[in-house]
Amino acid sequence: MAEQVEIRSKDGSFQKLLKYDDRYYVPNFVGNVKDHLAAIDVMEVREDDTFILTYPKSGTHWTFTLVSMLRTGTTIYRGSPTFLDYTDMETLDKLPSPRVLATHLTFDFMPKQVKEGKGKVITIFRNPKDVLSSLFTFLTKLDHPDFLSRYHFKWEGLLEFFMEGETYCGSWFDYIQNWDKVMAEHRGNNVMYLIYEDMIQDLRSNVQKLAMFLGVSFGPDYLDTVTKKCTFLNMVTEATKAAAPSEQWKEVTKNKTLPIYRKGEVGDWKNYFTVAQNEYFDKVYNEKMENSSFDFRFE
């Protein structure tokens, strides 16, 4: 069973999380964590299900919008995805096909049928310095009293939590190492790997790759439209206009909008890290990523 824990940093930042089996989870994770993870494990997967797996602030909603358009043949902005982490199984079962589901869980927590090759998995990775700076800005926008009673972050404190792996989604370094293992051992052809920085640089070619991976056949004009609709600037505009579609956002934002898109720039971390913090981060990064197959661009 999950236990409630409070973690504090040297600068007074704090967060109240659930902890189960040496991993951290947000308080609104379904049930007691253990039972919901077990339910996900035996979940009935549909052939046209798509699962978007990400570490937070790595392009989850962006990829969800792209995949939703390609799965449905429409160019409608759909806001926030349904998360495996925060949605009970009865609700998931009632969702119409094609389902596009997101999660911050790692691949080893996916349904057995997914690990056996059923459904599609899309995972996107972003350099950790921009992940951290984007996460900090995101968290400071969540100003509902319920959220503020559970979380309080200063930049130095969040950096400390991040480097120690004490965040609501666990260690970024462990997350990457998990995917290194998946790439080496998973024998299915149902996983696609995307790089956030590549999508920023050339979205159109990545839209083409997504369409091929999903097995959908649209002409170049439609793919051009999807690309135009999903430029990061347009995502910012659409998210600002959208009212929160689910209770999870109503609980953490006063204005009920989605505070998920900001700049989308590569290298914005330079506006947050001090020289000393950057040197410390690089030291830890180089040590932990020495044997990784990932090679991130930081600017």
Active site residues: 104
Angle separating helix axes 203-214 and 60-72, nearest 10 degrees? 50
247 Cβ contact list (under 8 Å, min separation 6): none
What is residue 101's DSSP assignment? E
Q: How far apart are CA 124 and CA 115, in angstroms?
A: 18
Q: How far apart are CA 157 and CA 159, in angstroms?
A: 5
Q: How far apart are CA 256 and CA 141, in angstroms?
A: 11
What is the spatial order of strands in the sheet that 50-54 belongs to?
82-83, 100-103, 50-54, 120-125, 191-195
CB 244 within 8 A of CB 258: yes
Whole-number CA gyration radius for the chain: 19
Q: Look up residue 63 and give its amino acid.
A: T
Q: How far apart are CA 13 and CA 143, in angstroms?
A: 15
- Three-state DSSP class for residue 4: strand
Sign, Cα dihedral of 87, 115, 191, 213: negative
What is residue 268's DSSP assignment? G
* Closest among 189, 234, 233, 227 to 205, alpha carbons compared: 227
